[in-house]
Homo-oligomer: A and B are copies of this chain.
Amino acid sequence: MKKAPCCTHKKTNKDLTHTIEFLKIISQEQRLKILCLLKNGEHCVCDIWQHLDMPQNLVSHHLKVLKDYGLITSRKDGTKVLYTIHEKAVTQHTQLLNHFLIPYAN
């Protein structure tokens, strides 16, 4: 039987710290909306701020936070910068989260 992680173990403490970091980043309406938009495909910054009706600099700021943590990636295309969700990273984090919340999560 697979052992459920417990917060008293060293390794799990590290995982918990990472999970908290991940959660703090996504527990923000604007950022979750951005991720939700990007999960359906690549978008430039102007797409995002017009679509979500928020100031351009704020979007850039949130994109930086998301990118610094590896939840999205970007590539340049002329003057535009196109952002995409990093699906694998996101999935890894959500699975780690489940370990802390659900007994014997896979």
Per DSSP, are chain A's interface residues mostly helix, strand or loop, or mixed? helix
* Interface: A103 (CB within 8 A): yes
Contact of A102 among B6, B51, B91 (CB under 8 A): B91
**How many copies of this chain does the complex contain?**
2
Given contacts A23-B27, A24-B27, contact A6 B91 (CB under 8 A): no
- Cβ–Cβ contact A39 & B101, under 8 A: yes
Contact size range, A: 35 or more
Known: A16-B29, A40-B103, A87-B102. 13 other contacts (CB 8 A): A7-B33, A7-B37, A7-B52, A8-B51, A35-B100, A35-B101, A39-B100, A39-B101, A87-B103, A90-B101, A91-B102, A94-B98, A94-B102
